[in-house]
Amino acid sequence: MTALIVIPTYWAPMRDIRRSVFDHPTPLGDKGTLGRCLRSMQNTRIDEKILILYSPFMKSVHDRVRCIVSGFKGLDIEIFNNRDMDYIAGLLGNHPPWFKRHINLDSYPNIRNICFLSAYMRGADAVIQLDDDVAVKERDFVECALFSLGRNIKGKPLLGKTGFYTNRRGKWRLRQKNRRIRRLWLKETYINRALESAFSGERLSRTTMALGGCMAIHRKLFNSVPYDPFNTRGEDTDYLINSMHFD
């Protein structure tokens, strides 16, 4: 199975930080976390191509990303560029303008859809989504990500998988932030419950939650189910819900 690893990276000029639609864009003058992510991948068994998507889609950000990527000659890295965007526009030439308007790198779900389109145009059987602020610890990370993907598990095809994050101490459990202020949405508590339920089962367990920065999606799924371009937050779990309707 051929896989494409896609890493979106989010930046912003200092003056635009507060106006950014992304949660934590890196100021253009800062070091950022992309280098740390790529450095961690040097210690793994990765032969797959790595595609870097960047937002905003502008020359100054491209130049910053290219400068970072240039330090990792041992990895097969490609940076998404204008030719890729033009090729995608050509693929969608017969679609109406309202549809093509969402083919951009301006929001989380649209970026995820560009991940899918990039994998499609490169003929990949699967796409592995990573965020630029994660570090890969397992040497066999890709092997684990692709394990059983595309196979029938208990009579149903396994076409999408999500992993989980750990902190520097190797712990996955999140600490609930201020319960009084966030009493109507105890996000960390809900994530812990979902992970507890998943960990209590077998190696491959059905889940009610997905983490967009650590997912593996089979071609059969991303060819049929896109991310909702009108979703502004929680696009990963929204994708999980929509995927459950795919047969």
* Predicted local confidence at residue 18, as pLDDT: 66
* Predicted local confidence at residue 152, as pLDDT: 92
User: What's the whole-number mean pLDDT along residues 54-59?
Assistant: 93
User: What's the whole-number mean pLDDT along residues 217-243?
Assistant: 92
Q: What is the mean pLDDT of the chain?
A: 89
Q: Report residue 189: phi and psi, to 5°.
A: -65, -45
* Predicted local confidence at residue 112, as pLDDT: 95
Residue written as token pair 């966030």:
182
CB 50 within 8 A of CB 129: no
* Predicted local confidence at residue 19, as pLDDT: 66
User: What's the whole-number mean pLDDT along residues 198-207?
Assistant: 81
Letter string b/e over residues 59-73, b meaning 16 or more CB atoms within 10 A of that residue's CB: eebbebbeebbeebe
Dihedral sign computed on CA atoms, order 178, 182, 187, 190: positive
State how far the Cα of 6 lies from the Cα of 118, in Å rounded to an integer: 9
State how far the Cα of 235 lies from the Cα of 107, in Å rounded to an integer: 10
CB 232 within 8 A of CB 244: no
More confident residue, 119 or 180: 119
Look at residues 164, 148, 147, 143 and name the one whose alpha carbon lies nearest to residue 213.
Answer: 164
244 contacts: CB under 8 Å, gap ≥ 6: none
Q: Among 11-25, 147-161, 223-237, where is mean pLDDT lowest?
A: 11-25
* Predicted local confidence at residue 15, as pLDDT: 65
Helix residue ranges per DSSP H, the chain: 34-41, 59-69, 82-91, 97-100, 108-121, 141-146, 187-199, 219-222, 235-243
Q: Report residue 30: phi and psi, to 5°.
A: -90, 170
Residue written as token pair 């330090």:
71
Please give the model's pTM, rounded to 2 decimal places: 0.90
